[in-house]
Amino acid sequence: MHGIWAWSLWTVLAGAGLEGRAESSNDERGRAPTLDVQLLTMEPGDELFTRGGHVALLVSRSYESGAPTTTVYNYGDADWDNPALVWDFVRGRLVFFLSSSGTLDETITTYGVRQARDVYRQPLVLTPAQAAAIVKRLEREVVRGQGDYVFHQTRALCSTRVRDLIDEVLGGAVRAQLSERPDPRTVRDYQQWTFAGFTLASLGGDLLMGRMHDAPLEQFSAAYVPYRLREYLQQVQVPDPWAPGRTVPLAGKPVPLALREQPLPERGANLSAPIFGGGLALLLVGLGGLAAIGRRARPWWASAGLALWAASSGAVGLALLVVLCLSRVREFWLNELLLSFWATDLLLFAPAIAWTRGRTAAWRWLDAYVSLRLATGAVVLVGRLSGVLYQRPVWWWAAGLVGVTVSFIVVRRMRPRAAALGSQI
């Protein structure tokens, strides 16, 4: 067992009056049960697919006779055996749906024990009519095909489906109260925090996700993050059903149902962009400097610098271009790195190799190309300084600017050599 209970599970369930199995909507006499809806939030776990956290709704049905029954509804289910799962996400076609993760104790076993994650519940202040409306929607959409939706990493996922359902039955109160309050972080911040410790996922997120992830957030949008939803719903005020004229917080204080044996390690700064982006920039500066030392260009160092830039920039640019053409997700389209990393930079690899053999391929087009790249680099620099361009991390933008500058200098330094060796072409 990976998790350790905050207290005995059965003590918790009994104290909360929530033990039992999910059963029919009415008792044996046909009487409708009393409904109670609570929010469940699961903290991140050790595996990558758990690092974003999770949200579900707990429905308790109380009858005049017998123990209450519980059902947990989960908007975060998908066909996990789909081999094209990641590609469907990139293309904006990944389908998620509503399912039931069983009773409360079964859900805690799944998330709290097997996945070793903290699990919290929060009571929601809802009128009987509001609770009934939520349960009616859940019972309808839990039928496969009725609750399907296209997944989006910030606008359509388990947390936003729950947030929007609660907001709908409250007549828009959640959106109205949270939309005017700024959140201290951006999507990029939450993204880097989520991927901390997973280098490839972090690099992919930083390179593929564009400027929309760096725009300011308000609390309603930021509530796509499970712990933010848990926090911000406590700030929403709703009419007190038992004291007319008063308002109370929509969500109560979170109550732990399961806690990890060892707390999840603190997630520090994400260093993948500084290491890889900054490392690429420093390496290019070093190779470019070695190529430019002395009165003549050094072919081997010049070749290494140009080849490195051609391979790195061209590969990144090609990946961005493929995603741009095939995806329907706007965050992939509006990517400022497309201005710095071009797929056509792969064409620079051939002349770089030619230099190592004492040849200089068609330097006129090469000179024109690197001049164009330097001009675009200058435009990007002006855009960054003026604030028109603001996409992070800045390390990738810096690597792009260094790359186009070094390639321009290296080609210009090799140009006299090209004129002298032109007869060899």
> What are the backbone dihedrals phi and psi of residue 80, each rounded to the nearest 5 degrees, phi first?
-70, -15
CA dihedral 273, 274, 279, 281 (to 10 degrees): 90
Q: Please classify residue 347 by burial: count the beta carbons closer than 10 Å to its beta carbon, then call 0-12 exposed, 13-18 middle and 19+ buried.
A: middle
Q: What is the mean pLDDT of residues 97-108?
A: 94
pLDDT at residue 82, rounded to an integer: 87
Within 8 A by CB and 6+ apart from 113, the residues are: 1, 2, 3, 258
pLDDT interval class at 122 (50, 70, 90):
very high
pLDDT at residue 365, rounded to an integer: 85
Q: Please classify residue 27 by burial: count the beta carbons closer than 10 Å to its beta carbon, then call 0-12 exposed, 13-18 middle and 19+ buried.
A: middle
Mind listing the pLDDT tens digit for each residue in 187-225?
A: 999 998 888 888 888 899 999 999 999 999 999 999 999
Mind listing the pLDDT tens digit for each residue in 7-52?
A: 333 333 333 334 333 334 455 455 678 899 999 999 998 888 888 9
Report the distance separating Cα 41 and Cα 118, nearest Å.
8
pLDDT interval class at 183 (50, 70, 90):
very high
The distance from CA 43 to its chain's CA centroid, rounded to whole angstroms, is 15
> What are the backbone dihedrals phi and psi of residue 341, each rounded to the nearest 5 degrees, phi first?
-115, 115
Q: How far is CA 141 from CA 19, 138, 160, 384, in A?
A: 24, 5, 15, 46
Q: What is the mean pLDDT of residues 235-258?
A: 93
Report which of residues 185 and 17 the model is more confident about: 185
Mind listing the pLDDT tens digit for each residue in 125-154?
A: 999 999 999 999 999 999 988 889 999 999
Report which of residues 238 and 295 the model is more confident about: 238
pLDDT at residue 14, rounded to an integer: 34
Q: What is the pTM of this model?
A: 0.84
Within 8 A by CB and 6+ apart from 416, the residues are: 296, 297
Determine the Cα angle at 274 with ends 268 and 279, to 5°: 145
Report the distance separating Cα 237 and Cα 245, nearest Å.
12
DSSP state of 26: S
- Strands 237-239, 247-249: pairing kind: antiparallel
